[in-house]
Amino acid sequence: MNFFHKILIANRGEIALRIIRTSHEMGMSTVAVYSDADQNAQFVKAADEAVHIGGSAPLESYLHQDRLIEAAKRTGAQAIHPGYGFLAENAQFAQRCEDEGLTFIGPSVKAIEAMGAKINAKAIMEANGVPTIPGYRGEDQSIKRLVKEAQQVGFPLLVKASAGGGGKGMRIVRKIEELETAIAGAKREAKSAFGDDSLLIEKYFESAKHIEVQIIGDQQGTILHCFERECSVQRRFQKIIEEAPSPTLTAASRKDICEAAVRAAQSIDYTNAGTVEFIYDTKSEQFFFLEVNTRLQVEHPVTEAITGIDLVRWQILVAQGLPLPMKQEELSINGHALECRLYAEDAQDDFRPATGKILHWSTGKTPNVRYDSGVTSGDDVSIFYDPMIAKVITHGSSRIEAIHRMLKALGELACLGITTNRHFLRTILEDSNFILNKFDTRYIDKELERLNKQDNPSNTIFEYSIAATLWQWNKRREQKNLLKALPIGWRSNFYKAPSDAYQVDEQFLSVSYHHLQNHRFQIKTGELVAEVLFEYADEHEVVYRIDGHRKAFQIAKKNEDFYVQSDAQEARKLSLVPRFPALEEEKIPGGYKAPMPGEVVKVLISLGDTVEEGAPLLVLSSMKMENTIYADEAGTVEEIYVSEKGFVEADTLLLKMKT
């Protein structure tokens, strides 16, 4: 038995907090490790001890094996939990832990190595009767051979990194003209993310579901499945909504796919927690093996919700050599669970990652809702890590009940100051295709324009501007200053109503108000006039009645910008227009600026090049996602101000074109 009582968590953010919580419940002491960017993070404060391990970039900290091992030895930790991502599926790190006398809370080195390369993993599955997707998984990785094999597989097909996951190094190819570019891009991304540019080519199913089975094994040879999850709602090949059980499977197909997952685990003598992923072809109703994730999954909470087990607790028990506390026949499905991933990204702008400070973070009080997050008000979302901020998990007696709870929970949640996908998630949950289970893994790709269509009532911005105006009025009312004897809103010109002007995107609103009496106002913008009763305001909430309708808004202010949201509508930024506008920054003709902070991955042009409209110019990486900058119009490259591997801030001038 590997008895231990202190665990080092080799990870960050919400998963570090998740592991700390269960460890403390079990009476285990915890050690956090942190980078420069995370020195004030919530998980650092929650752990019993914390050790600084380097710079903000993952290679300087969370991927630095020597520093992690040193931190464990320095603090006397006997075990390391890798969480997910970073080194969680790194066989070398697992072996290093073993060599140093540390318990790696995860599967064996042998299992990680067997499943680490998808090419090898599929060969093992085929030999053990687990159905696999037709495709090429050979050792010859030359462009010529990959192109030849792709033509034999047929289009559409998927070019996929052998060594990784999370949608990195993955491209859908629908015609041969796109193939070589897709292969080159996938190889580059795979090499950057995983240090291995090996690819495999698979048949691509135009209408398919993503089904995965949670497995866990102990050192006594018992392997259990904890039923399946459906993760078909994805963008950029990354999941954003997961649920358990799958609304697609019948009882018979559930039995078949879960038994196949157990066979897959048995074929590699699997121990600890893992996930066997399958693609489910909705036309043939057949499933095919995708991969084994040899770690805890991001979406594990939905399995916990329907089974009542704590997978992290079971991981720790198994790692100590103890048997699993339940038998297969004792596990059952109770109700339905959903998980929504809250990302710092702009769904209106091709899911571009967002960075910045969280001015206000709050969650609601709806029952049967779990929030797994690693942030609070005042925290920064940086360019160095994944843009996921939190996971919201709901449970109900039925799928519809879980959906209703999720809508309520997302409505109550506030993450003001940065752009998130909160409203986009709500839009999906309310969409009839999602409710009726008429979706597949390409659902967002196919329906993005419709899902992104703004459906805000015409008076939403007016109501938001009222909230900002009343918040300011209340702030002035509370101020203790030399003029406190004067009435709030007093003006030397009595006949001119006080007013504020706001800019929302390209729209300008001039809002004037008359304070009547007893907190009653008449507020006007353009042709819109409303009778408003102010009820309450604090640092981050405004409540008022507009024409007798009581409404509540969450609000945060930074400099002259207000961030406002209500339950049903998306958060918006209202910028207070100064009464004496500053001079606008001069625009540089032909200049291209960075749309976000990030690393310059690839400069695709050279000085003097002539490029066509729509041609790729350079590639930026932010929050583990690549974003290509394209030419707005044809021209000649006149200046290039950045170089590869360099970091740039948002609005940095990247290059200049002569058009």
Q: Over the stretch 66-120, which tens digit does the pLDDT of each residue have? A: 999 999 999 999 999 999 999 999 999 999 999 999 999 999 999 999 998 777 8
pLDDT recorded at residue 458: 64
d(CA 315, CA 217): 9
Q: Over the stretch 136-179, which tens digit does the pLDDT of each residue have? A: 988 899 989 999 999 999 999 999 898 866 677 889 999 999 99
pLDDT recorded at residue 553: 97
Q: 179 — phi, psi (to 5°)?
A: -65, -55
Question: 235: Cβ–Cβ under 8 A, 6 or more apart, which residues?
Answer: 347, 351, 444, 445
pLDDT recorded at residue 93: 98
d(CA 13, CA 387): 11
Measure the N-to-C terminal CA separation of the chain; round to a whole number of Å: 71
Task: Report DSSP state, residue 134.
Answer: S
Kindly write down the DSSP assignment for every residue of 584-609, as one continuous string: PPPPPTTEEE-SSSEEEEEE---TT-
Q: Over the stretch 553-591, which tens digit does the pLDDT of each residue have? A: 999 999 999 999 998 888 999 999 886 655 555 678 889
Least confident piece of the model among 186-195, 477-486, 550-559 = 477-486
pLDDT recorded at residue 482: 43
What stretch of H or E contains 181?
helix 179-194
pLDDT recorded at residue 571: 93
d(CA 113, CA 97): 15
pLDDT recorded at residue 376: 96
Least confident piece of the model among 27-36, 494-503, 617-626 = 494-503
Which range of 41-45, 141-145, 448-452, 477-481 scores highest in mean pLDDT? It is 41-45
d(CA 336, CA 421): 23
d(CA 81, CA 104): 6
302 touches 212 (CB < 8 A): no
* Mean pLDDT along residues 25-50: 97
Question: 568: Cβ–Cβ under 8 A, 6 or more apart, which residues?
Answer: 411, 426
What stretch of H or E contains 343?
strand 336-343
Q: Over the stretch 317-365, which tens digit does the pLDDT of each residue have? A: 999 999 999 999 999 999 999 999 999 999 999 998 899 999 999 999 8
pLDDT-derived band at 493 (thresholds 50, 70, 90) equals: very low
d(CA 377, CA 357): 8
pLDDT-derived band at 496 (thresholds 50, 70, 90) equals: low
pLDDT recorded at residue 381: 93
Q: Over the stretch 441-456, which tens digit does the pLDDT of each residue have? A: 999 999 999 999 866 6
In 10 A of CB 378, how many CB atoms? 12
Percent of the chain whose pLDDT exceeds 90: 73
Place of tokens 């669970």: 337
pLDDT recorded at residue 492: 46
pLDDT recorded at residue 494: 45
What the chain holds in terms of domains, given with CATH numbers, is: 6-105 (3.40.50.20), 135-203 (3.30.1490.20), 209-448 (3.30.470.20), 460-576 (3.30.700.30), 591-658 (2.40.50.100)
Residue among 18, 254, 295, 426 flagged as catalytic:
295
DSSP E strands in 246-302: the ranges are 272-281, 286-293
* Mean pLDDT along residues 218-232: 98
pLDDT recorded at residue 271: 97
The stretches of 479-562 forming alpha helices (DSSP H) are: none
Give yes or no for residue 195 having a pLDDT over 90.
Answer: no
pLDDT recorded at residue 586: 62
What stretch of H or E contains 641?
none
pLDDT recorded at residue 165: 67
**Helix or strand or coil: residue 173?**
strand
Place of tokens 């310059």: 600
Mean pLDDT taken over the chain: 91
Closest CA to 72 of 16, 32, 131, 37: 32
622 or 631, which is more confident: 631
223 bridge partner residues: 217
313 is catalytic: no
| pTM higher than the cut 0.95 | no
Q: 579 — phi, psi (to 5°)?
A: -70, -25
pLDDT recorded at residue 91: 96
Percent of the chain whose pLDDT exceeds 70: 94
452 touches 348 (CB < 8 A): yes
